Structure 1
Amino acid sequence: MVLGIILAVIAGALVSLQTIFNNKVNERTGSWATTTLVLGTGFLASLLGSLIFEGKNTFTLQHMQLWYWFSGMIGVGVVFCLVQGMKRLAPTYAISVVLIAQLGTALLWDSLGWLGLEKIPFTFNKLIGVLVIIGGILVFKLGQGHTKEQQENIASAPDSLEG
């Protein structure tokens, strides 16, 4: 269990780091070029890793459901949407929204047992957990106060009490 938690923490950190990198690439190219670069280099890295660690078993694909093959297309949607989200939101806010959506979707799929997942009963405690996370993100986003630009505008505005 500890190893699972460590790996999940590393994955979360890597997703956040990748999102920032993707945003920087997107500033110099377009969203589709960024998606192509990210998934293309990811393909090369995973192919190399697979050949090193699994050898000829890399190409042994048995008992695959047809819909498993769409995973890469889902990855295109993930990268494209993250890049677009980063353009419109700050990195922390974008990742927070992604995490809420990811947690909510995982909770739904687990609770319904879809796609061959073991059905895990939905409980009130799980709902409270998700709502607490959403509340925390709302406090984070709405409790930021004024941005530097807003503070400068307030400071440079004439005092309305002077006549």
Structure 2
Amino acid sequence: MWMGAILAVIAGSLVSLQNIFNSKVNEKTGSWTTTTLVLGLGFAASLIISLLVEGPKAFQLNHVKPWYWISGVIGIGVVMSLVKGVRLLGPTFAISVVLTSQLGFALLWDSLGLLGLEKVPFTWQKLTGVLILLAGVFVFKFGGSLRSKWKWKKTQVSQHEGY
């Protein structure tokens, strides 16, 4: 379990780092060019590393259903959406929304046993966890502005009462 958690933390840090790099490329080129570079360089690196590590057996896909192969095409939507989301929302808020969405959809797919996943029982505690994360994203994004508006209204009421 610890190794899985460590790898998940590494993945999270790499996704955040990749989004920073992607947004910098996107500033100078555009979303489609950024997506092409990210996925093209990723393909080249994956091809070379898999050949070095696993050799030709890396491409023996005898037991993989062909419709699972479209994940690379799904990657286009992932990169394109992230690049535009980061540009429109900023990196921290965009990644917060992505993580909340990712957890929510993972709960849905796990609970329904979709896409060949082993069905995991749905619990209200799991849904509550997703909703708490969603609330945290809301507080992160809007908490400071709501607090400053509340302070402003409180000041206005105090000043009005002084008359």
TM-score by length of 1: 0.87
Unpaired runs of at least 5, structure 2: 147-163
Q: How does 1:120-139 map to 2 (within 5 A)?
A: 120-139=120-139
Paired residue for 1:35? Answer: 35
Moved over 3 A (4+): none
Moved more, 50-59 or 32-41: 50-59
Look up the SS of the partner of 2:144 in the other structure.
coil
Look up the SS of the partner of 1:144 in the other structure.
helix
Distance (Å, rounded) in 1 between the aligned partners of 2:90 and 2:2:
31
Paired residue for 1:94? Answer: 94
Paired residue for 2:47? Answer: 47
Structure whose residues are more often helix by fraction: 2
Distance (Å, rounded) in 2 between the aligned partners of 1:49 and 1:144:
46
1:68-117 deviation per Cα after TM superposition (whole angstroms, max 9, x unaligned): 11110000100000011011011000000000110000000000001111
Paired residue for 2:72? Answer: 72
Distance (Å, rounded) in 1 between the aligned partners of 2:5 and 2:59:
30
1:9-67 deviation per Cα after TM superposition (whole angstroms, max 9, x unaligned): 00011111101110000000010000000000000111111011101112211122121
Distance (Å, rounded) in 2 between the aligned partners of 1:56 and 1:97:
39
Paired residue for 1:13? Answer: 13
Distance (Å, rounded) in 1 between the aligned partners of 2:144 and 2:24:
24
CA RMSD, Structure 1 to Structure 2 (Å) = 1.1
Aligned positions, number:
146
Paired residue for 1:4? Answer: 4
Paired residue for 2:83? Answer: 83
Moved more, 53-62 or 118-127: 53-62
Equivalent position amino acid for 1:83 in 2:
V
Unpaired runs of at least 5, structure 1: 147-163
Distance (Å, rounded) in 1 between the aligned partners of 2:143 and 2:44:
42
Cα displacement (A) at 1:144: 2.9
Look up the SS of the partner of 1:143 in the other structure.
helix
